[in-house]
Structure formats: C-alpha cells, structure tokens
Amino acid sequence: MSSRFRLVLRTSLGFAALGVGSSVCGAGVVALLLLLQGLPSEVGDRGWILGVTAAGIVALSLIVGTVWTAWLQRRTAVWFVFGRPPTKAEAERALRLPIDMGIVSGTLWLIGTIVLGSLARVLGSWMDALGMALVIGLGGLTTVGLTYLAAEWVARPVMTIALKVTPPKGTLKVTVLTRVVVTWSLASGVPFLGVLLVATPPDLGQGDHVASLIMLSVIGLGVGAIGTGLLAKAVATPLHRLRIALDEIARGNKEVVVEVDDSSEIGLLQTSVNDLAAGLREQERMRDLFGRHVGDEVARHALEYGASLSGDVREVTALFVDVVDSTALASRTPPEDLVKMLNRFFTSVVHAVGARGGLVNKFQGDAALCVFGAPTRLADAPTAALSAARAIRDAVQETGELDLGIGVASGRVFAGQLGTSSRFEYTVIGDAVNEAARLTEYAKAADGRILASEAVLKAALESERSHWEPYAELELRGRQEPTHAWAALSPE
C-alpha cells in the first residue's frame, strides 16, 4: 500500500469519524440536557413519539451526513489518490472542505431543531417547543464549531497540496479571527448562553436547574479545552516552523522552503517567507553573476555605494597582460581550440591577481587589465602587482601554449563608474594605465616577458626587487617623459 493511499485512507476515515463522532456526541449531550431540564414537560405518555422521532432523525442524519461527506470527499480523493496536481477548481473545492463539513453538520442539526421543536409544540406547549429548539440549537452550534475546527486539522494534508495550486492571497475566506470567534463561541459563548437560558425566567422545563448548570459548565470546560487545543495547534505549529525557517535564513541558508498548509493569514505569512527566500536566492544569483563579470570587489562596492556615476582619484598599480602575435595565432588555430587556450590563460591571470588582492578589471580579447589598489585599498599594491606578474608569466610559460608580454606601472588614476545612467562599468583611467599598456608592447621582446616602471620598483619591498633588474630607458608612445623600465629576471 503506497504512502499516498494510506494518507488518503487516513484522511477519509478521519472525516468519517469526525462526522459520526460529533453527531453522536452532540445528540447524546442534547438528550441528557433535555432529560435534566425535564423537556418537554407537558407531553405526558406521548413522550415516546418524541423519543422515536429523535432517534430516527439521528439515524437519518448519520446516513445523510456520511453520504454527503463521502460525496464531498470524492471530488477531492480523485486527484489526491492518483497523485496528480489538482486543477484550480478542484483545489478551491478542497480548501472549502472544513466549511462544507460545517455546512453539512449545521444543515442536519437545523432540520432536527425544526422537526423536534415543531413536534414538541404539537405534543406540548409553546414553551416546550421553545425550550427544545433552544437546547437543540445550542447543541448544534457547538457541534458545528467543533466540526469546523477539527475538519481543518484532518484536511491539512489535502489543503497543503491544494495551496500549491491556489496559494492564499487577496481576500481570505478563512482568517485567524474566524477561528478565534469559533473557539470563543465554543468555550464561552454557547455555554454561557445556555446558563442564562436555564437560570433566568421564564423557566424552561421542570427539571433540576442545578444539575443542568453543572452539566453546562462541564460541557463548556471540555469543549473549550478541545477547541482551544485545536486553535493552538492550528496557529502555534506553523508559527514554530516559520520561526525555524527565518532562523535558517538569518544564518545564510537561502534554500529554505516552508510548506504552505494554511489558507488564513498564516498561509500568507508562509508564502511571504518562501518569496523572501526565493528573492534572496535570486539576489545571490545575480550578485554571483555580477561578480563574475566585474569582480567580487566591484560588485560589493556597487552594492554598498549604489549605482552612481562617481569615483575617486587614488594611487594604484596597473598590470596589463597581452598575448604575443594573437592575429597569427587565430589564423592557424581553430576557434574552439583558441577559446580553450585563452580561457586557460585567463584562469592563470585571475588566480594570480585574486590571490594577491587585485582586480581583473576587464578582458580585452586576448588581453587583460588588472588593478591593485582599487576599489579595495592595498597596503602594498606595487609588491602585489609585481609578484602577480611573475606568477602569471610562470604559469603561462609552464603550459607552453602561449607567449605573452606584461607591463606594470603605478600612478594616480580615476577609479569608479564610467558610462551613462542606463549602462556603466567600473574602470580605472589615468597615465599609469596607459604606461602599463605601452610597456607591454616592449615586454613582448624582453627575455623575462615583463617590464615595470621604476616608480613601481622603488615602492616595492626589497624581497620583490631582488627578482628584477634595470632594463632600459624607453620612449613610450603618447608620453612626454621617458620611462625607466625594469625587467623581471627569467625563471631559472
């Protein structure tokens, strides 16, 4: 037997037990209260007629209620037992099960109230009819309220699936206030009304009022405890799950999914928590995607300071790396193979720069511009840049796939957002960037494949300067003053 079929069977039996049990218990309590009150008081030896009629109504109500409930269940069990998602109409009918169960119970009790009250008038007096109608009516209200609260608990597995199709939104058919009012009616309203009817004139019946009052008090305590327990379970359990889910989200777990199993405001809250987690997952995905395009530090900077076209001037070290003779390489290499080689090349660049706190600002075909000191300030950007340049060269030469040139220069540049309000990018603009790019062209012919300006070497640590030697004084295109270049020593 499948778990779904067992769940269907358990739910169906729960509804059946709920319908029969509530009707029998309600009828028994009403009969006992009528007996204690001595109602009806003027039927004499014709009381058996009322007894037989009442028994017949109870039996008929059980049969009709069972068939009616089974018919309501049939519309739900069809999709539930076969494991298919319900249509919107089927889901809406499933969510109405507790209300429909209350309507079934209320209709049957109303019929009993009218029939027995009318019969009491025929066999007795108007007071007998009034007393019997009031007692049966109060019993019916209590039974209907308990049936509604218990049906919500029994139908929860069905409602959980139905709420996936029609999540709670807009105007709610069921609210927490509805449950509170029903519970108050069971715990206080109906019992106290019964006490007033027994204790105040005109006297209904000729029985012992004290016994009736005691019984009403016991019924109020018992039914109130059951109703309050059902209300507490319907509210406290999902709120406890929501608290756990929110704690998980607060700890950074964005994969949380709360099961929506309530059609009231609690269901709205469950849906909102799921929307919150989904929004955070989407935000994380977008941030990850954004970070992959512009770098984690730039993404963090944009999220912190907003998407404004602004920046600042600061001292940075720029590293420019370019592949040697990429045009000829592209002409003799299939595109898919060339892309794989470039991806391996850029992987080496990203690892070397990222490990030293730098930013790969942009890829330019077969070249890359890297920045040390923006947007994150570094304590020693020149040393980090020079070390990263040597690491990139060593990693690329180890594969033997590509040849490259690297230029490194320091200076004050603008670092910030550039573009328009609808499209912009984080970049660095300044003489140091241009100098690094020009040095790259000369570095392609140098033995060590890396050239750096003297300003970078002077600012670097002595431990890093030991890997470099003076190269030449170069007249770089577009610059007025010559650059004293240093070359990295070739790896041993």
395 part of a folded domain: yes
332 and 194 inside one domain: no
293 part of a folded domain: no
353 part of a folded domain: yes
Q: Which domain holds residue 379?
A: 312-488
State both tokens at 228: 């309050």
List the CATH number of the domain containing 398: 3.30.70.1230
225 and 345 inside one domain: no
> Any residues with CB less than 8 A from the CB of 154 and at least 6 apart, and which?
11, 14, 15, 18
CB 409 within 8 A of CB 452: yes
439 and 370 inside one domain: yes
368 and 463 inside one domain: yes
Q: What is the pTM of this model?
A: 0.57
428 and 356 inside one domain: yes
318 and 230 inside one domain: no
Domains held by the chain: number: 2
Res 309: pLDDT: 46
109 part of a folded domain: yes
243 part of a folded domain: yes
Of 225, 251, 277, the residue that ends a domain is: 251
Burial level of 175, CB count in 10 A (0-12/13-18/19+)? Answer: middle
pLDDT digits (tens, 9 = 90+) for 22-75: 556 555 555 554 554 454 555 556 666 666 776 777 777 777 777 777 777 666
41 and 160 inside one domain: yes
Res 470: pLDDT: 94
User: Most distant CA pair in the chain: distance in Å?
Assistant: 130
Res 1: pLDDT: 45
331 and 220 inside one domain: no
Helices (H) and strands (E) in the chain, counts: 17, 8
Closest listed residue to residue 476, CA positions, set 418, 432, 416: 432
210 and 346 inside one domain: no
199 and 327 inside one domain: no
State both tokens at 290: 């954004």
Res 344: pLDDT: 92
56 and 129 inside one domain: yes
CB 23 within 8 A of CB 61: yes
State both tokens at 95: 């969510």
171 and 47 inside one domain: yes
288 part of a folded domain: no
257 part of a folded domain: no
SS3 177: helix
Of 251, 283, 301, the residue that ends a domain is: 251
Of 202, 220, 251, the residue that ends a domain is: 251
275 part of a folded domain: no
Residues of the chain with pLDDT under 50: 1, 33, 36-37, 39, 307-309
